């Protein structure tokens, strides 16, 4: 199983005093998965996002313009929830790819 989601970014949160964050929740069958993500920084303001999967950090101060691949994540009871946060002015995510880790 592979799921790919296209470009998303935060906007105007800094100006509104809201922390930069994106959250995705995926309904997946129980099993083991690998999460692949790609972040970019086209405006020089989104350098090091942090990603948690169901509350566990999988990427801390993530590199941009680099494919990031997680360790195996076990989904046992409910969805796979990815929380992406940053202290920078925005978050620019090109894609999320979720791969069943047979």
pTM: 0.85
| Domain count for the chain | 1
Q: How far apart are CA 91 and CA 40, in angstroms?
A: 8
How do residues 6-63 score in pLDDT, each as one tens digit?
Answer: 566 665 556 666 678 888 999 999 999 999 999 999 888 888 999 999 999 999 999 9
**CA quadruple 91, 59, 66, 73: dihedral, nearest 10:** -120
Range of the domain at 94: 2-100
Query: Can you tell me whether residue 57 is helix, strand or coil?
Result: strand
- Which CATH number is 85's domain given? 2.60.120.430
């Amino acid at each position: 199983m592979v799921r790919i989601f296209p470009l998303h970014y935060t906007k105007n949160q800094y100006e509104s005093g809201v922390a930069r964050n994106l959250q995705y929740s995926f309904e997946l069958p129980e099993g083991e998965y690998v999460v692949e993500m790609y972040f970019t920084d086209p405006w020089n303001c989104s350098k090091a996002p942090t990603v948690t999967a169901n509350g566990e950090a999988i990427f801390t101060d993530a590199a941009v313009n680099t494919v990031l691949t997680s360790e195996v994540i076990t989904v046992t009871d409910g969805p796979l929830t990815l929380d992406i946060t940053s202290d920078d002015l925005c978050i620019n995510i090109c894609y999320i790819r979720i791969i069943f880790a047979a």
